[in-house]
Amino acid sequence: MANGGRSQSMKLDKNSPIPITHQLEQLLREQIANGELSVGDRLPTEMELCAKLGVSRTPIRNALGQLVAKGMLVRFPGRGTFVASSNSGSRTAGKFEEITITIPEDQWCWPIQQAASAWNNEHPDQKIRLKFQVAAPVQLRSRLTLAVAQGAAADLSLLDSVWVAEFAERGYLEPMANISAAITNQLATDLVAPMVPHHTINGELIAYPAEADFAVLWYRKDWFAAEGLSPPTSWDQWLECLHHFQNPAIRDRFHTGNHSLAFTGGLQAGETTTFQLLPILWSAGADVITDYEVVLNSPEARNAVRFVAELVRRYRFASRDVVNVSWNGPALSLAAGSVAMALGGSYEAELIRAASGWDSDEFLQRVGFLPVPAGPGGEPATLLGGLSYGIYRQSRRQELALGLLARSMRPDILGVWCAKTSTNPPTISGSKALDPAAEPYLHETSQLFQHARTRWPIAEYQRVSATITRMFESAILGEIEPDDAVARAAVVISGITGLPERGAPRRSWASAAVASRLGF
């Protein structure tokens, strides 16, 4: 269908009792089976199919989604839908094993499909057939936990790296060395150092990162160059840059909005707020948990929260609405030219490109990124996270699942995947394989590893993160002063985790409950 003539054979019977979705799915299956559609062919867009077939978008989207879930098609955001190289939905001769994989988005099919294709070439008498279960990102955690509760966990799944400790403590995940010590040693040796602690529980590799995402400060490189400004390396320089672009004459010159900075600052954006603002704590020399103690209530942390609140309340560099912004709001504001700078994640490069209409070269010319600038007495900081692969104790085909995971991490597969999605590899071999000339964005983002830290591998992380987010939100809104917001958050986190506060008198669980009623 990527070639003009191939799509001519597609016809649907609108008078048939067979739903349009099923008709289209069957037609595409037949075209793949008879060779009209070949591996790597790009399908027309959903809107093009709507126009050609004279049907609404819903049945087309459903049909394509079904074929993606069955491994026959693969989607890449901003690039289109393609025929997969491993046709796991067709009949295969001989014995095969069906592997179930739960993913949050269609694009994650591709690396596992490539790994399965390699396996099938090497084992013609024991082929693998993939069955994907796609759960929307906002539903992924509940879908995974429900599957475990029902005794129906997938053989392999993606999960947010911050869930790893919780899932391990609950006994959901199988330590990888229990499945294969040799493969696990190979994977562990290739893992970039900053990601090791978050995926290792009690000395055992319990999950494996699928990507490496960094928290970044996006800025309009072209505007900075036009104004003769250098990217900030300290909080003072950051404030100077924001003040410059807040000037009405400068706003008129670049047709921006009323504010020079965008970020997420409230519970509305969920974990994204912690992802964006935690590096500001770190850049000030503060932390939340260190050496099994809650260390949040410190002068450095109070300084950091005060700094964030003043970006809104004192300087008005950012809108008060940051507490209501969705996770992708700041990146979209940057792409629209509404702000000069935005906190976000390296994974948003594709989103910014798609929203702005820039190609890869223009994106690199217009947009730059850096870690959060250093606070007083601190250092530049970024947060390293992303999705991870986990294999469950309930998994029926643990060895095959681990083998597929290991194959998908090989540079020949991982490198192509990272280039297509603008995502950094979590492996040493993958990082070394990056070609600076061919993948300048990934090469530049890989330099952020030197400033990267990960969140704490604790089972109570979800509640701790919500408390951190509420701390920032309450200070931004002026509900309480930043110093009080930090102190109260420290009490609650101590109560949640059972860890003592460093340097504080021993508090009871009742005092934590009181703080909770005050809004934390």
Confidence (pLDDT) at 171 = 95
Rounded CA separation 146/28 (Å):
33
C-alpha distance from residue 393 to each of 134, 207, 387 (Å):
21, 12, 19
What CATH class does 1-69 carry? Answer: mainly alpha
Domains 86-210+386-433 and 213-292+299-385 are alike in CATH topology:
yes
Q: What is the pLDDT of residues 445-501, one digit of tens each?
A: 999 999 999 999 999 999 999 999 999 999 999 999 999 999 999 999 999 999 999
Nearest 5°: the CA angle 154, 156, 161 is: 115
Confidence (pLDDT) at 506 = 58
What number does CATH give the domain 86-210+386-433?
Answer: 3.40.190.10
CA 91 to chain centre: 34
Confidence (pLDDT) at 27 = 85
The count of residues in the chain is 520
Domain 213-292+299-385: give its CATH architecture: 3-Layer(aba) Sandwich (3.40)
Rounded CA separation 435/424 (Å):
12
Question: How many CB atoms sit inside 10 A of residue 219's CB?
Answer: 24
CA 65 to chain centre: 21
pTM of the predicted model as reported, rounded to 2 decimal places: 0.81
Q: Which of 232, 233, 166 is nearest to 496 (CA)?
A: 166
Rounded CA separation 259/110 (Å):
40
Confidence (pLDDT) at 383 = 97
> Which amino acid would we find at residue 103?
I
Q: What is the pLDDT along the chain (520 residues), one digit of tens a residue?
A: 444 434 445 678 777 777 888 888 888 887 876 667 776 778 888 888 888 888 888 888 888 887 887 777 877 766 678 887 544 444 444 467 899 999 998 889 989 999 998 888 888 887 888 989 889 888 999 999 999 999 999 999 999 999 999 999 999 999 999 999 999 999 999 999 999 988 999 899 999 999 999 999 999 999 999 999 999 999 999 999 999 999 999 999 999 999 999 999 999 999 999 999 999 999 999 999 999 999 999 999 999 999 999 999 999 999 999 999 999 999 999 999 999 999 999 999 999 999 999 998 999 999 999 999 999 989 999 999 999 999 999 999 999 999 999 999 999 999 989 988 889 999 999 998 888 898 999 999 999 999 999 999 999 999 999 999 999 999 999 999 999 999 999 999 999 999 999 877 655 444 444 444 334 4
Confidence (pLDDT) at 516 = 44
> Any idea where the domains of the chain sit in the sequence?
1-69, 86-210+386-433, 213-292+299-385, 461-517
Buried b (16+ CB within 10 A) or exposed e, 315-328: bbbbbeebbebebb
Confidence (pLDDT) at 505 = 65
| DSSP labels, 394-453 | T-S-HHHHHHHHHHHTSHHHHHHHHHHHT-B-SBHHHHHT--TTT-HHHHHHHGGGGGEE
Confidence (pLDDT) at 49 = 86
